[in-house]
Structure 1
């Protein structure tokens, strides 16, 4: 005979198990059918006379048979066993009609075998007989919960939810000290959007056990849903640290992240990972937030841990590749991206990152092909897009235009910016500005001005486009026309702020220092937000720097960094200014490195980084960075000058002369606003000296390898 499972409901069953098992064995109650041991068909036992005492031995005998049939029904899924189990329960009840245990058992059988209506009827019948039958109430409550979890949101489920709430209200009255019951009822009220009663139940649970983590978690979720995140954080922090699990720390991290408190969110996620190292969800949240905050090294470690724990996760390898690319480890980035692509070959994001990586490596043809395909595949011939579709298409067009520009394909870049502008708000203004910049970088200033005019003609009331045209006119030999156009927008309203800032920039580029200072003062009067005040400090810093007043310029730039330590434009500007004048070189290098981390493909930042390393005597690093800067923008005369100085310093005079020739050529096509006459004369002097030395030597000198 096969061994029987132990009864699973009440300990009372255990009393009779050995005796009944022996009885069943000796009476031949089990018969062999093939290899399956099944109960033999029992003889029905007549119901006891009303005057007689219950025959509990017979009742337990039939209960044990019912139990065996029930287990067989659950393991085999055969409905005949469920039917037999029900018959045996009824025979058991014939011998002990008032048994709560047997009545509840029959109701639960119906529930377990999917006969929900019968289960509800049986449970309700028990409650009619005994309104305080806790087991029957719990069974009925569980049935309603199961119905809710299996069903869809509709009017019927709303009625079931009300029934479930009623049952659990009765249950908490019958069992007032059960934390679990209060939590379940609180969750039901939350589901019904009754936050007042939900909070009452969670508070009741908290009074039973003030240190209960489950209670704190439920209260925190409730307060978060109500928008009271600070209270949610307070509740979670009230759980003693030694009583917390990773669940509390994970929710705490998510709540901090919701209110943009990234520092505390990262700390909480880290504690969640420390408490439960196998919780990849917590580590993913930590890794993503570290990456978003440009904490690249710890983010890389976290993603590497995720990849080790789940080698089938393509996003982990994708993010590893992204970080390696941003840190300049391009070969490692390629290897990681290859792993991601093997796991999700059709991923658009992986293709996008592959394009960025090829761009970073200067492989513009490969990058162009990738972004062209992404832009083409995401384009709708109808011009109709959902918001996510439009955002993706815009992103692909933007990157394609940037790569065209880096590859000196200016006309293709301009055409792509035009396509982006055709997507309308909010892309058009930025697209026209970028198209103007593309022509400016190529020294095609008349085309840049024409683009600005055409953009304004399409929307004559657009203030941003009007200021863009004003700036172009001021730069391109039409200073008074540009200034008058900008001034025509002044209306003694708060919107004058953007006009004064534009005027300050125009006056500074025109070297009209007093007018620039006055425009900055006027802008400051209208600056109330931190970002507005930040820009005032930046404008003053640029004004001082252009006048070669480096001490007050440094003070203004540092004020910007007090407000926004991650302002890449200021980090680069201040770092370059210090390095260019041999001031605080180590600090200057650190600032520029941070700027490059924030914007790794910005050629101006790469040039600054190379120049700072050159000043520090780190020639190998400097050459790599300066060459990358020239590759990304071959029309900037300053970058050619810097590379020329590097070549001269490392004994490659012929290459240096070639770079200085390029520099002077680009200066000849550069607007006066972008040129310092003193710089041009310095480059000319270097080139003249190099030509003299080369002429004396009679041939190109032997090139030497740069030394760090």
Structure 2
């Protein structure tokens, strides 16, 4: 946000000449006129005419009146050359009628003669401030310094003026001098502790520094009964940045209660409800916004997102069609359209939309701004995911390589995607080769080294993997990085069924976790460790601790829901959790399989088949999904189809990593397959008779 956007009154000022003109005038200060005996009567007469012509010039916009006003001011000054009122009035008139160079020259002459002339300093400050529309060049930067200089003088001349302190604080903020900005805002607060503008400016400064916790503390320090709609809105926005959706919702609702027609607050509420997973409430709020403002394309896009997440795909497409004429170049709209096509299984259309987005975001020189990189990475990642769903491994890998080329953290994401694509296809050697390439390319990146370590351990090179992972501890002096290493080691040990060592690593990771979000992953991994050992009550307790920190965590909701469903306990609760996970990530094959499985356990075989088949379409290499589909087919009397699915499950187990092919699970599928074959044989024999 620019400074001008905060000072709305300045928008009404006339456009200025080039900044260079102002700088020229800055050095053209004339000499003070010789002293003369003032003729107050003549001066007052001409001042009265000047003021009359000034009113006519400003209100009617007529240049002839402006010229006459200037002439009358000059005649008044001839009669009383040392009058501050007349000199300041002439400078202000020049400013109002757009003769900026003369305004600056006149004001500078005045402050040279009278350094304490508040009106002249104010005018110079306004002129310099008005010229800050373009901060892209050196002259504008110099103009900022001139503006700061004038308002520093004004703050000294008017130490008790809140508005001057606030404006000077904003200028310091624009100059990236946070300490001075904060000092001015605090000075303003001492003058008027109840000022809404003071509180909002302090909170905005902390937000610009990324310290949203401090912004919240500043806003919450105002008693609830004294808060305005603007303060509550700013509080909601700050909570949004802290990912505290429920607190944001409450603040936005209080803002709307105070100012019911404020659509910005309504939009903030809708987005917070969406972030909190309250889809029905968010949809109601967004519908109200679109009713009040039918041209709001962004709200229609969010409505479409909700419809997609709720499984109403055709409605979602129809909503986007309404929004298209209003936002023809919207990348978000096109991306959401691709997600809907993906959800419908219309993969070619989804790929077409995403390829258009990727092509449109491609620069021949390979150079991208940070926002361009972020958008491009999102488009490429979804495109690669769809290729993986179609078992097009080479296309997926090629797409991930384009993410890797973006560099930085995107390179890590790209390499991880390549490894995952090869793992999906059970191409273990290729996955290990890419992990090795990544480790060589980014030798100082701990997460990449840990990825390679995990790949080595998974493919039988256990000692090498553990050695590489442990080596990251000695290379790190950072607690957060050490925590990451302990978590990675815990996962490796869990997959190796070395339970005690896994538990020890999680204990070490927990000791380094100071924030709730850091503890969340410890609880989750401890829950998976307990689940793998069939310690279900302990696993559930850990998962619930994690969900207390993040109730909208789809991974944990799915894991706990599936664990309950697989044991056939508390199925309604399991269904609620898994449905929520699917709402949060409708394309996730694992969540769709879990949803199908809880329906199966509940005896709803039609819904079970529908969702497990969707999961199988998105990942045909998962033996568990084939096993589940076999169970559904057997239960519904489709014995041949059941046999085919269990055969496919055994094939996939044969190509799986040892850590992913639990002998007990494999034996169960083998037993079901053999029994089904016997039943099928008996049926065939009976029919033959």
Alignment of 1:458-537 (within 5 A): 468=451, 471-472=454-455, 474-476=457-459, 479=460, 481-487=461-467, 490-491=470-471, 493=474, 504-506=490-492, 508-510=494-496, 513=497, 515-525=498-508, 527-530=510-513, 534-537=520-523
Contact 1:144 1:163 in 2 (8 A): yes
Contact 2:104 2:127 in 1 (8 A): no
- 1:113 aligns with 97
Inter-partner Cα distance in structure 2 for 1:131 and 1:380:
55
- 2:351 aligns with 368
Does residue 1:322 correspond to 2:305, yes or no? Answer: yes
**Residues 203 and 372 (structure 1 numbering): CA distance in 2 closer, same or farther, change over 3 Å?**
closer
Q: Deviations over 1:405-439 (max 9, x none)?
A: 10121222233334434444433444344333323
Contact 1:660 1:684 in 2 (8 A): yes
**1:629 aligned residue (615, 625, 640):** 615
The 3-state SS of whatever aligns with 2:383 is helix
**1:162 aligned residue (124, 130, 149):** 149
**1:684 aligned residue (668, 673, 689):** 673
**1:554 aligned residue (540, 545, 565):** 540
Inter-partner Cα distance in structure 1 for 2:122 and 2:654:
83
Inter-partner Cα distance in structure 1 for 2:444 and 2:107:
73
- 2:684 aligns with 695
- 2:168 aligns with 188
**Residues 76 and 637 (structure 1 numbering): CA distance in 2 closer, same or farther, change over 3 Å?**
same
Inter-partner Cα distance in structure 2 for 1:434 and 1:95:
82
Q: Larger radius of gyration, structure 1 or 2? A: 1
Q: Deviations over 1:586-609 (max 9, x none)?
A: 221222223223322110111001
- 2:560 aligns with 574
Contact 1:66 1:84 in 2 (8 A): yes
**Residues 255 and 555 (structure 1 numbering): CA distance in 2 closer, same or farther, change over 3 Å?**
closer
- 1:148 aligns with 128
Inter-partner Cα distance in structure 1 for 2:659 and 2:337:
38
CA RMSD after TM alignment? 4.3
Q: Deviations over 1:138-173 (max 9, x none)?
A: 653552343033223344553454345435654x48
Q: CA deviation at 1:365?
A: 0.8
Q: CA deviation at 1:565?
A: 3.7
**1:78 aligned residue (38, 62, 71):** 62
Contact 1:144 1:161 in 2 (8 A): no
Segments of 5+ residues of structure 1 without an aligned counterpart are: 1-49, 700-708
**Residues 347 and 562 (structure 1 numbering): CA distance in 2 closer, same or farther, change over 3 Å?**
closer
Contact 1:619 1:646 in 2 (8 A): yes
**1:341 aligned residue (292, 303, 324):** 324
- 2:17 aligns with none
Segments of 5+ residues of structure 2 without an aligned counterpart are: 1-36, 133-139
Inter-partner Cα distance in structure 1 for 2:111 and 2:465:
85
Q: CA deviation at 1:647?
A: 3.9
**1:353 aligned residue (328, 336, 339):** 336
Inter-partner Cα distance in structure 2 for 1:87 and 1:451:
81
Identify the structure with bigger relative contact order (alpha carbons < 8 Å, sequence gap 6+): 2
**1:408 aligned residue (384, 391, 403):** 391
Contact 2:486 2:506 in 1 (8 A): yes
Contact 1:544 1:552 in 2 (8 A): yes
**2:269 aligned residue (286, 289, 296):** 286
Inter-partner Cα distance in structure 1 for 2:410 and 2:483:
23
- 1:264 aligns with 247
Range with bigger deviation, 217-226 or 622-631 = 217-226
**Residues 241 and 458 (structure 1 numbering): CA distance in 2 closer, same or farther, change over 3 Å?**
closer
**2:377 aligned residue (375, 389, 394):** 394
Inter-partner Cα distance in structure 1 for 2:466 and 2:302:
45
Inter-partner Cα distance in structure 2 for 1:397 and 1:694:
50
Q: Deviations over 1:511-558 (max 9, x none)?
A: xx4x33234324523542336655554444434433434333333433
Q: CA deviation at 1:355?
A: 1.7
Alignment of 1:59-138 (within 5 A): 59=45, 63=48, 69-87=53-71, 109-115=93-99
Contact 2:561 2:575 in 1 (8 A): yes
Q: Deviations over 1:27-56 (max 9, x none)?
A: xxxxxxxxxxxxxxxxxxxxxxx9999599
Contact 1:330 1:361 in 2 (8 A): yes
Does residue 1:277 correspond to 2:255, yes or no? Answer: no
Q: CA deviation at 1:91?
A: 7.8
Contact 2:351 2:386 in 1 (8 A): yes
The 3-state SS of whatever aligns with 2:511 is coil
